[in-house]
Amino acid sequence: MGMKVINKILVLIIFCFQFLMPYSYLGALTKDELLDTTDDLENYLQDCSTGKLEISFFNNVLDFVFLIKGANLDMSCLKNKYEEHLKKYPSTNLKSPKIEILNEETKNKLSITTFGRQVCVEGCSLDKDTIIFRDNTFWYFYDLLNAFGLDANFIENIEDKILIEFYVATHTKNIMFNISDNSFLYLYDGDLEFERDYYIARWSKSYFPNMGGAFWYNSKRDYENNIVELIEMKSENIYCASPDEFYEDGEIQTFMLKNNISSFCVAR
């Protein structure tokens, strides 16, 4: 098992023992109130950068991410704005909140403690937001899914594309953002590996019909998310199923029948 998968499993184990509560001045924010905080975010980023900001918003059934693009971001200015915000709107959930700028493993990425969302276990602390840089340009990713956090990175072997990963309890949701035209593309959940004409999604989650329960599987897909190849799992708790055990006319069953595949092994 790769280190990336192991790290995500550790993150999920930790978060299984905590619940998330978005920030508020006197209590937890509702979804609409969390969306309202984007006005403050936009104002602070505008004050601490040059030129006009560009706003991109991804909404696919659930609100996922509020993305702001700008130029020449002054991180010290932004840190001061967030600290002033916390003084102006103190939260009873937080004890001595502190805004920090955190260096990430890649040179083109920083994290900053948000003035918004909270993570609460025995006590509450502020979550963090991710900022990607290229030369003088920045992209600020503000998490609206508000589950187990997000991560964003340039895809190394595909030009001008950023992968946004949203961690939820049992899998990872994925969106690809094209910085050339500010467009979003929903990709299948799981741990993704990219090539120019296709990607491989490992540990995608699905369900058997008739209350048959969840399973995880691997697949090779084109960038219209069509299955190009089903890749059998190599893990513990493997179950090999015939086409009729998957959803009727579902993509897995359809692909198996079309390609005369009699059995496909998944993880339970």
Query: pLDDT digits over 24-77, tens only?
Result: 333 345 667 778 888 999 999 999 999 899 998 776 555 678 899 999 999 999
31 and 120, same domain (yes or no)? yes
Tokens of 226: 């069509």
Q: What is the pLDDT of residue 147?
A: 65
Residue 258 φ/ψ, nearest 5 degrees: -65, -30
172 and 196, same domain (yes or no)? no
Which amino acid, one-letter code, is at 239?
A: Y
62 and 93, same domain (yes or no)? yes
Task: Give residue 172's pLDDT band: very low, low, confident or very high (50, 70, 90).
Answer: confident
- Single out the residue in 165, 187, 209 at which a domain terminates: 187
Q: What is the pLDDT of residue 30?
A: 61
131 and 257, same domain (yes or no)? no
Distance CA 102, CA 100 (A): 6
166 and 46, same domain (yes or no)? yes
102 and 206, same domain (yes or no)? no
179 and 255, same domain (yes or no)? no
| Across 30-39, 97-106, 233-242, least confident range | 30-39
Structural element, H or E, at residue 80: helix 75-88
Q: What is the pLDDT of residue 13?
A: 41
Q: How many structural domains are present in the chain?
A: 2
13 and 28, same domain (yes or no)? yes
Q: What is the pLDDT of residue 29?
A: 55
Q: How far is CA 235 from CA 7, 102, 189, in A?
A: 17, 35, 18
- The more confidently predicted of residues 143 and 194 is 194
Torsion of Cα atoms, 222 then 194 then 64 then 112, to 10°: -170
- Single out the residue in 187, 204, 225 at which a domain terminates: 187
Residue 119 has pLDDT above 50, yes or no: yes
Residue 233 has pLDDT above 80, yes or no: yes
- The more confidently predicted of residues 11 and 78 is 78
90 and 51, same domain (yes or no)? yes
Q: What is the pLDDT of residue 31?
A: 67
- Chain centroid to CA 176: 10
Distance CA 115, CA 97 (A): 9
115 and 147, same domain (yes or no)? yes
Other CB atoms within a 10 A radius of the CB of residue 78 amount to 23
247 and 145, same domain (yes or no)? no
148 and 73, same domain (yes or no)? yes
Domain span holding position 91: 3-187
Residue 161 has pLDDT above 80, yes or no: yes
Residue 191 has pLDDT above 70, yes or no: yes
Distance CA 130, CA 114 (A): 9
- Single out the residue in 146, 171, 187 at which a domain terminates: 187
Looking up tokens 């899914």 gives 145
